Amino acid sequence: MMLFNVKPVKDISEVKHEVARIVGSQKPGSPDDLSPFKGEIEALMSLFCEFNPDWKKAPAIFRVARVDAGGGTRAYLESVILPDIKHDLDLMLKMLNHIREQKGLQTVKMPLFIQPDEIAIAHKEGKTDIEGGMILSQLAIVFQKGAVMWIGFVFGHDYVLLQG
How far is residue 77's CA from residue 46's CA, in Å, rounded to a whole number?
12
**H or E element that contains 20:** helix 12-24
**Cα 40 to the chain's mean position, in Å?**
14
- The pLDDT score that the predictor gives to residue 4 is 46
Establish if 84 belongs to a structural domain: yes
- 162 or 87, which is more confident? 162
3-state secondary structure of 16: helix
**Confidence (pLDDT) at 6:** 65
Over residues 108-126, the mean pLDDT reads 92
Range of the domain at 37: 12-163
End-to-end CA, the chain: 11
Number of domains in the chain: 1
Query: Does 6 map to a domain?
Result: no
Q: How confident is the model at residue 155, as a pLDDT?
A: 92
> Within a domain: residue 3?
no
Which of 50, 41, 54 lies closest to 140 in space, CA to CA?
41
In the prediction, which pLDDT does 9 show?
Answer: 87
Mean pLDDT of 83-107: 88
pLDDT at 30 over 90: no
For residues 102-128, average pLDDT: 92
Percent with pLDDT over 70 in the chain: 96
- The answer as to whether 24 is a domain residue is yes
pLDDT of residue 1: 42
Q: What is the DSSP string of 52-103?
A: -GGGGTS-EEEEEEEEEETTEEEEEEEEEEPPSS---HHHHHHHHHHHHHHT
For strand 72-81 and strand 158-163, is the pairing parallel, antiparallel, or unpaired?
A: unpaired
- Name the more confident of 86 and 75: 75
Rounded mean pLDDT, 34-49: 90
pTM of the model: 0.90
pLDDT score of 70 more than 60? yes
Tell me if 75 sits within 8 A of 66, measured CB to CB: yes
Residue 7: inside a domain: no
Q: Is the pLDDT of residue 2 over 60?
A: no
